[in-house]
Amino acid sequence: MAEVEGLRRGTLMRLIRLAVALAILGSAAAAQATTVIIYVEPMTLERYVRVIDTNGPDRVLMCMAPPATSGCTDITSKAHHAN
């Protein structure tokens, strides 16, 4: 039973992550180039977003919140593919 609930939570988190990325990319269309970094707190799964104006293409990255040392996941292709 707990395994099914965990599976549902995982699917829900993927959908939420994709929806946030799409919303951010949709609102950032007026900017020249933007890097959106979505930080996720690993213990509570709380999220906060940082938007940085950069040179190059638009990107969306999902990272564990500091002090975590794991790398970031580039979810740009998922966000562009869903449009």
Q: How many domains does one find in the chain?
A: 1
Higher pLDDT, 55 or 23: 55
- pLDDT higher than 80, residue 81: no
Higher pLDDT, 59 or 77: 59
33 in Cβ contact with 56 (< 8 Å)? yes
Q: Which domain holds residue 6?
A: 2-82
Q: Give the integer Cα–Cα distance in Å for 66 and 57.
A: 25
Main-chain phi, psi angles of 14, to 5 degrees: -65, -45
Q: What is the pLDDT of residues 28-74, one digit of tens each?
A: 555 467 888 888 888 888 888 888 888 878 888 888 888 877 788 88
Task: Evaluate if pTM is beyond 0.75.
Answer: no
The pLDDT value given to residue 43? 83
The pLDDT value given to residue 6? 53
Q: Give the integer Cα–Cα distance in Å for 70 and 83.
A: 29
Read off the tokens for 66.
């500091």
Q: Give the integer Cα–Cα distance in Å for 25 and 23.
A: 6
